[in-house]
Amino acid sequence: RLADGGTAEEALWELWAPTSWPGRLAKAALRGGAAGRNADRDPAPLLPLLAPLPPTAPRPHPLTTCEGCDRGIRAPQGTRCRDCRPTPHQTAA
Report the SS3 class of residue 74: strand
Report the SS3 class of residue 39: helix
Domain extent listing, the chain:
2-50, 63-92
More confident residue, 39 or 92: 39
Sign of the alpha-carbon torsion through 57, 2, 4, 16 = positive
C-beta of residue 84 within 8 angstroms of C-beta of residue 92: no
Model confidence at 45: pLDDT above 70: no
Amino acid identity, residue 33?
G
pLDDT exceeding 90 applies to what percent of the chain? Answer: 8
More confident residue, 49 or 10: 10
Task: For the chain, report the end-to-end CA distance as a whole number of angstroms.
Answer: 64
